[in-house]
Each structure stands twice: as C-alpha cells, then as structure tokens.
Amino acid sequence: MRAAVATLAVTLSLTAAAQQIYDVNDQGIMRPELVKDVPVPARYTPDAMRRKIEGSVLLRGVILESGRVADVKVVESLDPELDQEAVAAFSKWAFKPGTKEGAPVAVRVTCKMAFAFKD
C-alpha cells in the first residue's frame, strides 16, 4: 500500500522588504531557528492523493519577534488544495526568532514543502 507524505525543507532566504524586516546578510543578524517538535506536517488531501499529485510548494513568510510565522504567501504553486495545506502547516510552525544585537527581530524566510508518495 502506498502512503502519501508531505516533506519539507526550510531555507532561510531573508530580504529587507520592510524597515522592520531584516536580511540575513545584515551585520549582527542571527537567523531564526525552527523549534524542536515542529514543524506540523502539511496534510495530503484525499483529492490530491486520488490524483497522485507530487511536487513542491514554495512559500514565503515572516518570522516575527515572537517566533510566530506571519504573512505567508505562495511563491510557487503546486495545486490549490495542497497550497492551502502548506500555508496552514507553515503558519503553525514555531521558531526561536532571529536577533540583532541580542534583541528579537522580524526576518523574512522561504520554505519549500514537498508532497510525494512513498511505498
């Protein structure tokens, strides 16, 4: 029996899109770190399983000073249902926030979630 699983890879790709959002290359910026026991996996929808959709969803979001994820957007779509599941899962993740001079700061990140069938 084949099982459907969603896998993920987080790439910290940071940009200075707004004054309070920092770039990883800025002097003194420490990257956010994913908290253990997270991430919550994206759910493979029954319809996507039936259609055997495989591939990746590329997301962009901001890790806030609190470590919560905000402003999640789909950068590269796979399927509308799986895109929604990826956004929902990423929005639940928790991070140790990025810092500047020891103080938490908002940092923009990209996240790639892969959906694939495994035997």
User: What residue numbers bound the domain in which 75 lies?
Assistant: 3-118
Name the domain count of the chain: 1
Tell me the C-alpha to C-alpha distance, in Å, between residue 117 and each of 5, 84, 94. Answer: 6, 19, 26
How do residues 18-46 score in pLDDT, each as one tens digit?
458 876 566 787 899 999 766 678 889 99
Residue that wins the pLDDT comparison between 19 and 64: 64
Specify the higher pLDDT residue, 5 or 30.
30
Alpha carbon distances (Å) from 94 to 13, 38, 79: 17, 7, 25
pTM of the model: 0.79
Among 95, 39, 101, which Cα is nearest to 66's? 95
Using pLDDT thresholds of 50, 70 and 90, give the confidence band for residue 16: very low
Q: What's the CATH number where 102 sits? A: 3.30.2420.10
The residue among 1 and 106 whose pLDDT is bigger is 106
- Give 65's pLDDT tier (boundaries 50, 70, 90): very high
